[in-house]
Amino acid sequence: MKYHSVLLALCLTIPAMANAQTQNYTVENIEDGDTITIIDLDGESQRIQLSGIDAPEDTDNAKLELDIKKKGLPKEALLEIGELATGFLKSEMAAGQKVTLQGDLSKRDKYGRIPAIVINEKGESLNLLMVREGYAILLTRYPLKESFKAALEEAQQHARSSKNGLWGSHPEVMAKWSNLKK
Beta-strand pair 114-119/45-50: parallel
Q: In the prediction, which pLDDT does 131 show? A: 98
How large a percentage of the chain has pLDDT more than 70? Answer: 86
CA distance 9 to 66: 32
Q: In the prediction, which pLDDT does 74 show? A: 94
pLDDT digits (tens, 9 = 90+) for 117-130: 999 999 999 999 99
CA distance 150 to 164: 19
CA distance 156 to 107: 26
**pLDDT value at 8 more than 60:** no
- pLDDT band per the 50, 70, 90 thresholds, residue 19: very low
**pLDDT value at 28 more than 50:** yes
Ranges of each domain in the chain: 2-178
Mean pLDDT of the chain: 88
Architecture of the structural domain at 2-178: Beta Barrel (2.40)
**pLDDT value at 17 more than 50:** no
Structure pTM? Answer: 0.85
Residue 85 near residue 135 (C-beta atoms within 8 A):
yes
**pLDDT value at 175 more than 70:** yes
Provide the H-helix boundaries in the chain. 2-19, 62-71, 75-92, 126-132, 146-162, 166-169, 171-178
Tell me, rounded to whole angstroms, the distance of Cα 66 from its chain centroid. 19
